[in-house]
Structure 1
């Protein structure tokens, strides 16, 4: 029996990268998982590709995490399929590098809406469902090394991930009385599609001269000597979704290979 057998989970941003890996790891450990993403077609394909041979059940849901109605409908769909909601991963996020002096209001609002407001709405709507059930639950937010240190070409992203830490702490304090824990994890440099996009954007703004340069420079400060793979993250995320972390709340776990020591 897996560590999360019988648990009903939602993972947003699950069409690729860390989110997909989180969902697949939960399935392997016996959870039922709603893979949710703004790219409904892609996340449906993920579910078709990953369902076979897994220990849990999976459904797909298209969702804009900044739209409260869509988030509420996603939770209702999950409860209809699996009977309840036990664990909510607020993982959806974006980054669009710009040099600090060039950051626009549009860039700021886009990143803060998805990475900040989207997390708050996801926490609120998940908590409402968990409170109605009366059985407690777990809310898990994706932060970043950028939640602990500012970087010059991604200022709005850093600000949004600092917001995730604050929301995690605030939610933990408010929801403890309902037996709902709120935790988070902070990845460092992870080899995913998102980093490929960031790499191209950094070249476009003159912050890197060749493909892969930005990742190489970041990786130089990693004590483990390499960038992470999504599979390096999922041991911790499954732990946070399991009963093993029941006495843990309000905390952010760094998973960065020793890049940021705090």
Structure 2
């Protein structure tokens, strides 16, 4: 039996990924920060209805000791760690001229440092276990096409793309594949916040910024979290065993590279 750990899984894309991987037959460990503990427990109860073994681990992914303890707890609860989905992330909408260094650092701490720490600790555990593993990270369309007012977010996700390539090179000898998924515009709380702030910056009504950016989607609709979860399902499965170091867009046809 395989165990998958998904960070930032209390809601949104992380929750959809956890649900899909449970449906695929994996046992599940889900993580979020302490402030979201009630939400995380509710998600865990929903996942247990699938019949899979489900455990939870509270941790701030930007803190090394907490990530180490999170992986330790998952292995103690589940017996092993076979799939790591470093999904946790935050977004801020600020112009570069108005951005404070603290805001830059906060976005980098979660989106870049947090993915690095999750990748590293998962790899250590997988190497100790033997038998390889799957490490999967949250990048974004902005890893290929940055958005104005999201420069720090864009930089962090471009960093995840580079980290994913480097990790794939280093850990291939251990049978570990490392890939990332790059969502476009997804109907989540994060994009509601982005829409609100972009609309304010661009002098639009709430909802108009999301509509403006969505007009470039070739498939004609905003993504839902389940769209992303389907790609992660593939990356977590044996079907992707010959793929590593890739950051794959799942954006409905916005960016063509």
TM tier relative to shorter chain = over 0.9
**Which of 105, 110, 116 is the equivalent residue of 2:106?**
110
**Which of 22, 26, 29 is the equivalent residue of 2:21?**
26
**Which of 214, 218, 225 is the equivalent residue of 1:223?**
218
Q: 1:86 to 1:208 in 2, by over 3 A?
A: farther
For residues 231 and 203 of structure 1, what CA distance do their matches in structure 2 show? 26
**Which of 39, 42, 56 is the equivalent residue of 1:42?**
39
Does the aligned pair in 1 maintain the 2:199–2:207 contact within 8 Å? no
For residues 21 and 159 of structure 1, what CA distance do their matches in structure 2 show? 25
For residues 52 and 46 of structure 2, what CA distance do their matches in structure 1 show? 14
Q: CA deviation at 1:208?
A: 4.6
Equivalent position of 2:69 in the other structure: 73
Q: Is 1:149 aligned to residue 145 of structure 2?
A: yes
For residues 203 and 254 of structure 1, what CA distance do their matches in structure 2 show? 25
**Which of 169, 177, 185 is the equivalent residue of 1:173?**
169
Task: Report the secondary structure of 1:50's partner residue.
Answer: helix
**Which of 237, 240, 244 is the equivalent residue of 1:242?**
237
Does the aligned pair in 2 maintain the 1:25–1:234 contact within 8 Å? yes
Does the aligned pair in 2 maintain the 1:44–1:61 contact within 8 Å? no
Q: Which runs of 5+ in 1 are unaligned?
A: 1-5
Q: Aligned residues, how many?
A: 255
For residues 98 and 180 of structure 1, what CA distance do their matches in structure 2 show? 37
For residues 179 and 140 of structure 2, what CA distance do their matches in structure 1 show? 13
Equivalent position of 1:90 in the other structure: 86
Does the aligned pair in 2 maintain the 1:31–1:55 contact within 8 Å? no
After TM superposition, the structure 1 stretch with the greater mean CA deviation from structure 2, 31-40 or 220-229, is: 31-40
Does the aligned pair in 1 maintain the 2:139–2:183 contact within 8 Å? yes
Does the aligned pair in 2 maintain the 1:100–1:152 contact within 8 Å? no
For residues 208 and 197 of structure 1, what CA distance do their matches in structure 2 show? 15
Does the aligned pair in 2 maintain the 1:116–1:164 contact within 8 Å? yes
Equivalent position of 1:201 in the other structure: 197
For residues 156 and 181 of structure 1, what CA distance do their matches in structure 2 show? 27
For residues 244 and 109 of structure 2, what CA distance do their matches in structure 1 show? 25
Q: CA deviation at 1:235?
A: 1.4
Q: Which runs of 5+ in 2 are unaligned?
A: none
TM-score (norm 1): 0.94
Q: Is 1:213 aligned to residue 217 of structure 2?
A: no
For residues 197 and 31 of structure 1, what CA distance do their matches in structure 2 show? 32
